[in-house]
Amino acid sequence: MSRYYVVTGAAGFIGSNIVAGLNARGVTNIIAVDNLKKGDKFRNLVDCEIADYMDKHDFIDSLRAGAFDGYVEAVIHQGACSNTMEHDGLYMMDNNYRYSVDMLEFCIQEAVPMLYASSAATYGASSVFVEDPRYERPLNVYGYSKILFDRILRQRWNELTAPVVGFRYFNVYGPREEHKAGAGSSVAFNCFHQFRKEGRVKLFEGCDGYGNGGQLRDFIYVEDVVQANLHFLDHATNSGIYNLGTGRAQSFNDVAAAVINTCREAEGKPALSLEGLQQAGLIEYVPFPDVLKGKYQSFTQADIGALRAAGYDAPFHDVATGVSKYCAKLLGAAG
C-alpha cells in the first residue's frame, strides 16, 4: 500500500521549497494541498514532481471522511495566510488555526508525524524570543492564530501518538516567493525589485530607538528552513516547538547593501560600503508609516538554544551570503 507525504500550502513559498527538497532526495509520493484561487502560485510547482494535487477544502472534507486513513506517512503543514496586515479575523482563524487543529486531530488518530509552521509573530511586542508563554505577545490576528494553535498543542502533549514539531519561522526569504509580491514578500525580494526598477532602495527611517534602516530582524534563507524541516522529518523522536532563525539579528541596511552590491557586481561595478551606498543615493530613507506604528517588530532574534539541544547543528546563511545567493537566482530568472 502506497503511503504519501502530505504537504499543505504546497504551492506557497515555504511549502513549494519543501516539495522541491523532498524531490531532491527522490521523494515524489507527495499529496500537494493548496488553494489556487491566486492561480499564479502554480508556477512554484511546475518543476516539482508530485503524486496528486488537491484543493484545500476538498482535502479537509476527504480527511474528515476518513479517505486518507492508513495512507499518510507524514504531514508537513505549511498552509496558512501569512499576511500580517490581514484584518479579517474570521478568515484568519479558520484558515490558520482551525485548519491546523484538523491536521493535528488526524495525526493523533493515525499516529502520523506532523511538522508545522508557527511564526515569530507569536512574540510580537516581546523583546525576548524564547519558546515560553511568558514572552508571547502577538500584535496582530495572524500572530494570535499561530500562538493559539501552539497553546492547544501544549495542552495536548500527552495525547500525541507520533512526534509533532512546530517551527517558529523568523523572517524567511528566498526563491518561490514571487506570488507574494508586495506586503507579504520578503525585504530582500522587495529591495531587489525596487532597485531594478528605480535604481535605489527605500527603507524606513529610524523608529523605536533605531537609526535609519537600522531596525534589526533575524533573516533566514529558505534553504536553511527546508533543511531543518527535513532533518526533523528524519530524526524527530520527541515533540516540540522551536524557533527557526539564524540566532543573529541583522539590519535592513545589511539586506539592502547585499542586494545592491550583488546587482552592481553583476554589472561589473565595485561593491560599496553602506556609507558609500548612502552617499551615492542608492539607499533612501522614507517616513515610518502611521499604519504600522504599534504593530511593528523593530527587533527580532531567535534564541535557537532549544533547536540546537534537539540535535539540529547545521550552520545558517548570514545575510550577505544568503541574500547574495538569492539575488543571483533572481538575476538569472530575469535574464
Is 180 marked active-site? yes
Q: What band does 109 get if pLDDT is binned at 50, 70 and 90?
A: very high
pLDDT score for 85: 66
pTM, to two decimals = 0.95
> pLDDT tens digits, residue range 151-196?
999 999 999 999 999 999 999 999 999 987 766 789 999 999 999 9
pLDDT digits (tens, 9 = 90+) for 261-286: 999 999 999 999 999 999 999 999 99
142 labelled catalytic: yes
Among residues 142, 242, 285, 326, the one annotated as catalytic is: 142
pLDDT tens track for 290-309:
888 777 788 999 999 999 99
Helix orientation angle between 99-110 and 141-155, rounded to the nearest 10 degrees = 20
Task: Give me the pLDDT at residue 150, please.
Answer: 97
Q: Quick one: CA dihedral 316, 318, 322, 323, positive or negative?
A: positive
Active-site residue identified among 41, 56, 146, 180? 180
Sign (positive/negative) of CA torsion 181, 176, 220, 334? Answer: negative
